[in-house]
């Protein structure tokens, strides 16, 4: 769906003093309050390299390794990708060199196969890949050999799923959306589940009563947008529930859930909020307006916002990649990484070649683009937290 700017109508302000980043150990109930009523906005341009580290990984292109490069998982050693088409392939690349290691395909209708890939989790420590195929999770080793599978508990349909620790995954159950306008039917939708059998190790209950799904209805027609419900934030997690006016910070070390953002009632149309990276200085948000123009087939206009802690001010961010001479803009909230990776972006080979020909690139990106051709796989740009 086309994303458009919802215009300058959002004002944000802080309650509390000295809000910590999500990697710090502050346990006080200090939070951000979001007031979606005012029409005040300022733009601020920042070079990405001024506050983040950037790593480029050109994915090797061979007859065996040709991929559209949809990134599914990033670990210290590997990058997992798939294609947009449902062909069943999972590609494993070396994170440091981009060299293709192997590709796996277990698509099928058998008990050890997946019909399609919703998402995948890479567990580097246990050398396992968890393939989320709707209400079933299948586990393979890094060579594609089947190890086990399990159905989700209570018919859960996991939209977001990440590696949590050595023994568990963390997930969000999107079946709550099917009850839009009704009361919730489960105690929790965010949960930590066992990697061994899918049983719930711990439920994380976010308080709300009536379900507010990211849907818009017109008669029998329903259209939806994606609101990310789980955001890895270095050592902690940010939990989003569209039915709640609060985004929570979750600390694994003590199972502590604290308000991080509290959204004031926005009236009609409803305004949803989700998160991007949170650094010691900058806090990235996305605001999504819950409306859709069925006559034009467009809707859910979204705006990215940023709080600058040092200046105690809010902006519409313009984050530019300094490795482009013409200031190529970077979307900070489109994708989320894990661990040291805050977000990532695919740089398509044809566009890099064009930029190189026009002398619009700087090193190291210039050197990478010089070696590409029109058939090359994408270059994965990793945006990493600074230590």
Question: What pLDDT score does 22 carry?
Answer: 62
Question: What pLDDT score does 227 carry?
Answer: 92
Does the domain at 11-384 match CATH 2.40.50? Answer given as: no
> Rounded CA gap, 154 and 156, in Å?
6
Tokens representing 308? 């600058």
Total Cβ atoms within 10 A of residue 110: 9
Tokens representing 237? 């997690």
Question: What pLDDT score does 357 carry?
Answer: 97
Answer whether 335's CB lies under 8 Å from 344's CB.
Answer: yes
Closest CA to 271 of 251, 285, 253, 254: 285
Answer whether 119's CB lies under 8 Å from 136's CB.
Answer: no
| Mean pLDDT calculated for residue range 28-57 | 81
| Mean pLDDT calculated for residue range 61-67 | 95
123-127, 211-215, 259-263: the lowest-pLDDT one? 259-263
Q: What is the DSSP string of 177-211?
A: GGGTTSB--SS-SEEEEETTT--EEEEEPPP-SB-
Answer whether 147's CB lies under 8 Å from 111's CB.
Answer: no
> Rounded CA gap, 346 and 348, in Å?
6
| Mean pLDDT calculated for residue range 147-167 | 95
Pairing of strands 256-263, 31-35: parallel
Total Cβ atoms within 10 A of residue 244: 17
Eight-class DSSP state of 52: S
What Cα–Cα distance (Å) separates residue 176 from each residue in 179, 229, 301? 6, 12, 23
pLDDT category, 39, cuts 50, 70, 90? low
Tokens representing 136? 């079933």
| Mean pLDDT calculated for residue range 232-243 | 91
| Mean pLDDT calculated for residue range 210-216 | 91
- Note the pLDDT tens digit of each residue in 116-135: 999 999 999 999 999 999 89
- Note the pLDDT tens digit of each residue in 321-366: 999 999 899 999 999 998 899 999 999 999 999 999 999 999 999 9
Answer whether 187's CB lies under 8 Å from 208's CB.
Answer: no
């Amino acid at each position: 769906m086309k994303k458009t700017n919802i215009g300058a109508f959002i004002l944000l302000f802080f309650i509390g003093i000295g809000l910590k980043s999500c990697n710090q150990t502050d346990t006080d109930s200090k939070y951000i309050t979001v007031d979606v009523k005012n029409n005040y906005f300022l733009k601020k341009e920042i070079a990405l390299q001024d506050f983040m580290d950037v790593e480029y990984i050109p994915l090797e292109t061979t007859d065996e390794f040709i991929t559209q490069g949809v990134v599914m998982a990033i670990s210290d050693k590997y990058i997992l990708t798939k294609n947009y088409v449902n062909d069943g392939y999972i590609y494993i690349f070396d994170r440091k060199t981009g060299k293709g290691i192997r590709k796996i395909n277990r698509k099928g209708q058998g008990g050890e196969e997946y019909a399609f890939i919703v998402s995948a989790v890479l567990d580097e420590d246990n050398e396992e890949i968890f393939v989320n195929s709707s209400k079933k999770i299948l586990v393979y080793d890094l060579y594609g050999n089947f190890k086990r599978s399990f159905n989700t508990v209570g018919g859960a349909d996991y939209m977001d799923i990440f590696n949590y620790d050595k023994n568990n995954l963390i997930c969000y159950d999107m079946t709550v959306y099917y009850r839009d306008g009704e009361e919730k039917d489960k105690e929790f939708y965010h949960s930590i589940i066992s990697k061994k059998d899918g049983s719930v190790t711990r439920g994380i209950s976010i308080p709300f009563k009536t379900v507010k799904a990211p849907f818009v209805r017109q008669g029998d027609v329903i259209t939806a947008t994606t609101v990310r419900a789980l955001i890895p934030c270095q050592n902690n997690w940010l939990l989003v529930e569209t039915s709640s006016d609060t985004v929570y910070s979750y600390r694994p070390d003590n199972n502590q859930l604290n308000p991080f953002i509290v959204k004031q009632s926005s009236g009609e149309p409803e305004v949803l909020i989700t998160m991007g990276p949170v650094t010691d200085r900058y806090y990235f948000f996305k605001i999504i307006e819950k409306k859709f123009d069925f006559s034009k087939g467009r809707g859910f206009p979204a705006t990215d916002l940023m709080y600058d802690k040092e200046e105690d001010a809010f902006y519409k961010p313009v984050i530019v990649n300094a490795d482009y001479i013409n200031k190529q803009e970077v979307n900070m909230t489109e994708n989320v990484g894990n661990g040291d990776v805050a977000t990532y972006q695919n740089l398509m080979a044809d566009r890099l070649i064009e930029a190189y020909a026009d002398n619009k690139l700087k090193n190291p990106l210039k050197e990478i683009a010089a070696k590409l051709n029109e058939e090359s796989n994408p270059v994965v740009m990793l945006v990493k937290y600074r230590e």
